Amino acid sequence: MLDRATQQAATDIATLMHDMGKRARKAARRLATLPAAQKNAALKAMAAEVRAARAEILSANAEDIGAMTANGQTEAYLDRGTLTDERVEAIAAGLEAIEALADPVGEVTASWERPNGLRIERVRTPLGVIGVIYESRPNVTADAGALCLKAGNAVILRGGSDTIRSNLAIHAALVRGLAAAGLPEDAIQIVPLADRAAVGEMLKGLDGALDVIVPRGGKSLVARVQSEARVPVFAHLEGLCHLVIDAAADLDMAVSIARNAKMRRTGICGSMETLLVEQAVADTHLVPICAALAEAGCEIRGDAEVCARFPGAVPASEEDWRTEYLDAIVSVRIVDDLDAAIDHIETYGSHHTDGIVTSDQAAAEQFFAQVDSAILTHNASTQFADGGEFGMGAEIGIATGRMHARGPVGVEQLTSFKYRVRGTGQVRA
Amino acid sequence: MLDRATQQAATDIATLMHDMGKRARKAARRLATLPAAQKNAALKAMAAEVRAARAEILSANAEDIGAMTANGQTEAYLDRGTLTDERVEAIAAGLEAIEALADPVGEVTASWERPNGLRIERVRTPLGVIGVIYESRPNVTADAGALCLKAGNAVILRGGSDTIRSNLAIHAALVRGLAAAGLPEDAIQIVPLADRAAVGEMLKGLDGALDVIVPRGGKSLVARVQSEARVPVFAHLEGLCHLVIDAAADLDMAVSIARNAKMRRTGICGSMETLLVEQAVADTHLVPICAALAEAGCEIRGDAEVCARFPGAVPASEEDWRTEYLDAIVSVRIVDDLDAAIDHIETYGSHHTDGIVTSDQAAAEQFFAQVDSAILTHNASTQFADGGEFGMGAEIGIATGRMHARGPVGVEQLTSFKYRVRGTGQVRA
């Protein structure tokens, strides 16, 4: 049984979170009908306030980093949490980039007329209230807050506790920007506590106040959110991306795309983790591609035939086909044909991004039709799996679910819709 | 503690349901890549098999009705569960109507080119596996099964136990049709048990096998599904629809639309339940509208001013503003102005369908912008809230959620999408 102080603290957190939910819902109602110009004015003011608060933000961040260092965090983790003059400027510039995007709200995405003269329009509306749960990367505070606002949504942010001082400093600047433009300050709220119980409350949906939750972070965070959330989640658990070198693949293109898909950046979700080479081109394509990857610093884990053909390879285990390395490692398998490649992807893949290199249009169309992933690429690097590269301007993440949003989640994906039926007195027979 | 036999039965049901889930997922993978012609051949064969099985279906239905009568069910309930020659023919014709719809799968809903030459397309795909939980209306077995199939989805049906014999007979005919066209028989499965534990398993999602659940039935069924489901739900809990008679409403149009919105059919979700008359036209419009409704057999429950002006009215309680009568009763309130009308709708409404009668375009646009409902009508009856009336051909229901599907849920809303990226060797910088 919990002691009285713990019980009281849990009650306080639940009360706090539910109150945030109510305030977010109220703000969302106002945001839903704001003209684009007013939201843009707020985004511009938010950028100015972030720049003006640079010293304050950096000082808060220095405290965060000091505490993390004292706790013995790794270099990579510290780097993700660290802010500099340049990074604060990048946060402000990011707000301006979101300001520059087209406002999706109010866009008519379909319209048609019925034989009885009714005109029906489907028009974009905000989704409502979005919960964003993220790890210790302070820039997400501004990015996620702004993207939700642009689409007319209220947002409740809950950042990693290791950068809570930085997050609160950035959030304070955002709220000053909201106020300057006459927007409700509750449009962007942040959970002011490091207590994990706050996350638990968000996952339960705050009494219906949260419409969707977006987790931003590593696999364990996403896994927890996906398994516990009682509201819809936009996320991907992992990006176990494949590249198929088809029987009709151009060799130079295959080498170039494989190297880029794996090695451009190994830590992003669109990086290739498994290379599937069809038997027909094993003699000609396998070694040059493996050599190019190895030369770029990549470890090759191959099946028996790959190891026999490419001496630099080490044997892959069954586990390798299920592993998202996020590192300079690739698993390589020779498959009988395209059907076998597709079977492999459907067996081991994560439905994120998968690609094929082929000069055979029919093979590409088969791949497009039969692989059930959010993004499929033909003769292009899997690293194009990105909202910016898609022309969406900014993304809050990439989703692999089949509901509502799939692939890059940008401002359009943060909207819902409604139908407007325009009549001249029609009644139903 | 459960006794051993009960435990064993629960285990058996869980095993059965999870096995159905696995088989549905496997069938879904095949369905996803079927050409339209093959799905249509199956729908045509299903219609023929239903007609051929008419005697068998009617005999099963007679047994269901006999048991229901013995249990003392109401006339209305019995009527919904009863099949006749005409109703079996209507089921078959419904299958042919779904065959005639355009196949949404493969439709390119957006395409654009990036400065680097990448061509990006967003293309419709099936959603996957759909669970449909419905009350004792045997026609839903065929309607829902066919609609899911048309969009390339596998479906698990769980119909009301009172018509289980009818449902199984119809389902058997559908499966013969699937087989005749070479489709997997697991494309349309039905839970062969009346045990409610089967519903509990579906609500838990069958280990990830169910992508979405659609409840078809009364408020208590929908409420249970919405509160317990761990997977997305397409549904509306109720259709508490409002009609606003604006200051600029044409009187004849207001009378005609109000009468149709309320009295054409009182039991459907798009029927008007609350009439809001703006003060500016209370003198001129209130009495004629109330008189027309009363003359059509409608009970008027009014606020104090309505009761004072229209002697036939009885006083409305606070509860009336929250009540979906689904009957020949309407609550009527005089509101100060359009803002007050919108406030009333946002306070008491169910975000299903709400309408305004006005000749003032600005008032209509304000109503369209500020009322957060799936369907908004201007100078048209709220009873047009229907997939058929929208031109969608058939619907599996109407959804009031903000995620994925909203408003009528037809074949398009039963799809997801993926992105195809077509390149010529592009790598990311």
B249 and B173 assigned to the same domain? no
A76 and A215 assigned to the same domain? yes
Contacts of B72 (CB under 8 A, 6+ apart): none
B65 and B89 assigned to the same domain? yes
CA atoms within 13 A on the CB side of B242: 32
CATH number of the domain to which B267 belongs: 3.40.309.10
B134 and B226 assigned to the same domain? yes
Contacts of B385 (CB under 8 A, 6+ apart): B239, B241, B269, B270, B352, B353, B375, B377, B398, B407, B408
**Residue B205 CA: distances (Å) to CA of A209, B16, B190, B424:** 23, 13, 16, 41
Average pLDDT over residues B378-405: 94
Task: Compute the distance between CA of residue A407 and CA of residue A353 in angstroms, rounded to an integer.
Answer: 8
Neighbours of A108 (CB within 10 A): 11
pLDDT digits (tens, 9 = 90+) for B308-362: 999 999 999 999 999 999 999 999 999 999 999 999 999 999 999 999 999 999 9
Least Cα distance to B330 among B246, B243, B401 occurs for B243
Average pLDDT over residues B114-137: 96
Characterize A365-376 residue by residue with b for buried, 16 or more Cβ atoms within 10 angstroms of its Cβ, and e for exposed: ebbbbbbbbbbb
ipTM for the whole predicted complex goes beyond 0.90? yes
Query: B244, B360, B426: best mutation site toward chain A, by most A Cβ within 10 Å?
Result: B426
A199 and A277 assigned to the same domain? no
**Nearest residue, CB atoms, A425 vs list B253, B364, B370:** B253
In a domain, B308, yes or no: yes
Nearest residue of A to residue B375 by CA position?
Answer: A419
Contacts of B20 (CB under 8 A, 6+ apart): B156, B189, B191, B206
Lowest mean pLDDT of A142-156, B19-33, B72-86, name the range: B72-86
CA distance A54 to chain B (A): 31
Sheet strands (E) in A233-352: 241-245, 272-278, 299-302, 314-315, 329-335
Task: Flag whether residue B417 sits within 8 Å of chain A, measured between CB atoms.
Answer: yes
In a domain, A395, yes or no: no
CATH number of the domain to which A80 belongs: 3.40.605.10
**Residue A139 CA: distances (Å) to CA of A84, A396, B307:** 11, 12, 59
| Token pair listed for A304 | 């028996």
B352 and B271 assigned to the same domain? yes
What part of B 260-279 touches A (C-beta under 8 Å)? 260-261, 264
Dihedral sign for Cα atoms in the order A365, A371, A374, A378: negative
What part of A 393-412 touches B (C-beta under 8 Å)? 402-404, 406-407
pLDDT of residue B146: 97
**Residue B360 CA: distances (Å) to CA of A305, B104, B248, B262, B345:** 75, 38, 6, 23, 19
Confidence of residue A2 (pLDDT cuts 50, 70, 90): low
Pairing assessment for the beta strands B415-426 and B119-126 based on DSSP bridges: antiparallel
Count of domains in chain A?
Answer: 2
Is pLDDT of A69 > 70? yes
pLDDT of residue B3: 67
Contacts of B296 (CB under 8 A, 6+ apart): B259, B262, B263, B328
A29 and A155 assigned to the same domain? yes
Question: Residue with structure tokens 């005999």?
Answer: B59
Task: Compute the distance between CA of residue A297 and CA of residue A316 in angstroms, rounded to an integer.
Answer: 18
In a domain, A4, yes or no: no
Is pLDDT of B51 > 50? yes
Average pLDDT over residues A109-121: 97
B157 and B273 assigned to the same domain? no
Average pLDDT over residues B160-171: 96
CA distance B394 to chain A (A): 15
Contacts of A264 in chain B (CB under 8 A): 427-428
**Residue B211 CA: distances (Å) to CA of A10, A400, A420, B205, B239:** 34, 13, 28, 8, 25
pLDDT of residue A195: 84
| Token pair listed for B136 | 């004792």
Mean pLDDT score of chain B:
95
Contacts of B253 in chain A (CB under 8 A): 425
**Percentage of chain B exceeding pLDDT 70:** 99
Range of the domain at B294: 241-389
In a domain, A397, yes or no: no
Least Cα distance to A188 among A24, A19, A397 occurs for A24
Is pLDDT of A1 > 70? no
In the chain, the amino acid numbered A273 is E
pLDDT of residue B1: 46
Dihedral sign for Cα atoms in the order B268, B393, B182, B420: negative
Confidence of residue A194 (pLDDT cuts 50, 70, 90): confident
In a domain, B373, yes or no: yes
In a domain, A40, yes or no: yes
What are the residues facing B426 on neighbouring strands?
A380
The radius of gyration computed from the CA coordinates of chain A, to the nearest angstrom, equals: 24
**Percentage of chain B exceeding pLDDT 90:** 91
Task: Flag whether residue B384 sits within 8 Å of chain A, measured between CB atoms.
Answer: yes
Least Cα distance to A136 among A81, A215, A79 occurs for A81
Dihedral sign for Cα atoms in the order A387, A391, A394, A395: negative
Contacts of A147 (CB under 8 A, 6+ apart): A98, A394, A395, A396, A410, A411, A414
Average pLDDT over residues A367-390: 96
Helix-strand-coil split of chain B, %, nearest 5: 50, 20, 30
In the chain, the amino acid numbered A388 is G
Mean pLDDT score of chain A:
95
Contact call for residues A377 and A398 (beta carbons, < 8 A): no
In the chain, the amino acid numbered A178 is L
In a domain, B60, yes or no: yes
Task: Flag whether residue B212 sits within 8 Å of chain A, measured between CB atoms.
Answer: yes
**Nearest residue, CB atoms, A403 vs list B253, B264, B404:** B404
pLDDT of residue B2: 54
Average pLDDT over residues B123-133: 97
Judged by CB atoms closer than 8 Å, whether chains meet at A425 and B256 is answered as yes
Task: Compute the distance between CA of residue A354 and CA of residue A371 in angstroms, rounded to an integer.
Answer: 8
In a domain, B155, yes or no: yes
A190 and A315 assigned to the same domain? no
| Token pair listed for B331 | 């609550």
What part of B 333-352 touches A (C-beta under 8 Å)? 346
Contact call for residues A162 and A64 (beta carbons, < 8 A): yes
- Give me the phi and psi of A299, to 5 degrees please: -80, 135
Number of residues in chain B: 429
Contacts of A154 in chain B (CB under 8 A): none
Neighbours of B62 (CB within 10 A): 14
Task: Compute the distance between CA of residue A15 and CA of residue B186 in angstroms, rounded to an integer.
Answer: 48
A330 and A220 assigned to the same domain? no
Average pLDDT over residues A209-237: 93
Q: Between vectors from CA A61 to CA A57 and to CA A62, what angle results, nearest 5°?
A: 120
Judged by CB atoms closer than 8 Å, whether chains meet at B403 and A428 is answered as no
Judged by CB atoms closer than 8 Å, whether chains meet at A417 and B406 is answered as yes
A92 and A121 assigned to the same domain? yes
Neighbours of B97 (CB within 10 A): 17
CA distance B194 to chain A (A): 28
Average pLDDT over residues B7-11: 74
Task: Flag whether residue A416 sits within 8 Å of chain B, measured between CB atoms.
Answer: yes
For A54, counting Cβ atoms within 10 Å of its Cβ (0-12 exposed, 13-18 middle, 19+ buried), the class is: middle
DSSP B207: T
A289 and A150 assigned to the same domain? no
Average pLDDT over residues A141-161: 97
Neighbours of A213 (CB within 10 A): 25
pLDDT digits (tens, 9 = 90+) for A337-360: 999 999 999 999 999 999 999 999
pLDDT digits (tens, 9 = 90+) for A227-281: 999 899 999 999 999 999 999 999 999 999 999 999 999 999 999 999 999 999 9
List the end-to-end C-alpha distance of chain B, in Å, as a whole number.
Answer: 64
Task: Flag whether residue B72 sits within 8 Å of chain A, measured between CB atoms.
Answer: no
Contacts of A388 (CB under 8 A, 6+ apart): A394, A395
In the chain, the amino acid numbered B14 is A
pLDDT of residue B195: 83
| Token pair listed for A416 | 């819902």
Contact call for residues A118 and A426 (beta carbons, < 8 A): yes
List the end-to-end C-alpha distance of chain A, in Å, as a whole number.
Answer: 64
DSSP A283: I
